Amino acid sequence: MTNADRPRSVTGEDVGATARLLARAFGDDPMMRWFFPEEATRPAALAGYFTTLLTRQYLPYGVCERTGQAAAFWVAPEAQEKAVPDEGTIRALAALLGDRADWFRDCVEAAAANAPQEAHWYLAVLGTDPAAQGRGQGAELLRAGLARADAAGLPVHLESSKRENLAVYRHFGFEVLEEVRLPADGPPLWTMRRAPRA
């Protein structure tokens, strides 16, 4: 693995490239396809979506890291209330989401209502450019975040709407807690937890 492929912090200068990378990574994600159903406009809409979340929520309040072809956004226990998309963020996304803006708001509210009560690290986003999948860059980012949680003696929680990813997360010690149905006949969403390791 080259130095360019090792985890490093995302900076303001990285926002555009990171958002485009994640747009490619989530192009086939069931929840993102549900939010942005138009094939022709989805790449640009997803780039705008991740730019908004990165600049308004995760860069200010989270731990954002990337490699050459993958990115991950983590939220520490003390920052989780601030990192939830607020009304300003939802308004900023409304033009991209169109008639699905209310669904997005419903999903945010449902996630907040069902957030784990225990102190934990939250893996908000993890994505690898499809052209680089299988080269270990996403795994490097995942290991880095899990090491922080383990050092603090805390579990990690995440949600995934892609069934194929469940086995990957299980390989790293996650277990499925619940299968959640999104509103308006949205795709299933799996909540997962990984216990801390010594």
Cα 123 → chain centroid: 6
Q: For 92-104, what is each residue's pLDDT tens digit?
A: 888 899 888 888 8
Query: Which H or E element spans position 45?
Result: helix 42-53
pLDDT of residue 165: 95
String of b and e for 26-39 (b: at least 16 CB within 10 Å)?
bbebbbbbbbbeee
DSSP designation for 93: H
The share of the chain scoring above pLDDT 90, in percent, equals 70
Mean pLDDT, to the nearest integer, of 65-73?
96
| pLDDT score of 1 | 52
Residues 163-190, mean pLDDT to the nearest whole number: 91
In the predicted model, what is the mean pLDDT of residues 123-132?
94
- Label residue 2 by pLDDT band (50, 70, 90): low
Asked if 104 and 93 touch (Cβ cutoff 8 Å), the reply is yes
- Domain-wise residue ranges, the chain: 3-194
High-pLDDT (> 70) share of the chain, %: 98
Whether the pLDDT of residue 23 is over 80: the answer is yes
> 10 Å Cβ neighbour count for 17?
12
pLDDT of the residue at 84 = 79
CA-based torsion, 6, 7, 12, 17: positive or negative = positive
Mean pLDDT of 50-65: 94
- What is the predicted pLDDT for the residue at 185? 81
pLDDT bucket at 49, cuts 50 / 70 / 90 = very high
Helix (H) or strand (E) holding 157: strand 156-160
Question: Is the dihedral angle over the CA atoms 182, 179, 48, 59 positive or is it negative?
Answer: positive
DSSP 133: T
64-93 b/e (C-beta count within 10 Å ≥ 16 → b): bbbbbbbbbbbbbeebbeebbbeeebbebb
Question: Residue 6 has what pLDDT?
Answer: 86
Q: Tell which wins on pLDDT, 28 or 6.
A: 28
CA 89/CA 94 separation, integer angstroms: 9
The confidence score (pLDDT) of residue 3 equals: 58
The CATH code of domain 3-194 reads 3.40.630.30
Over residues 57-73, the mean pLDDT reads: 95
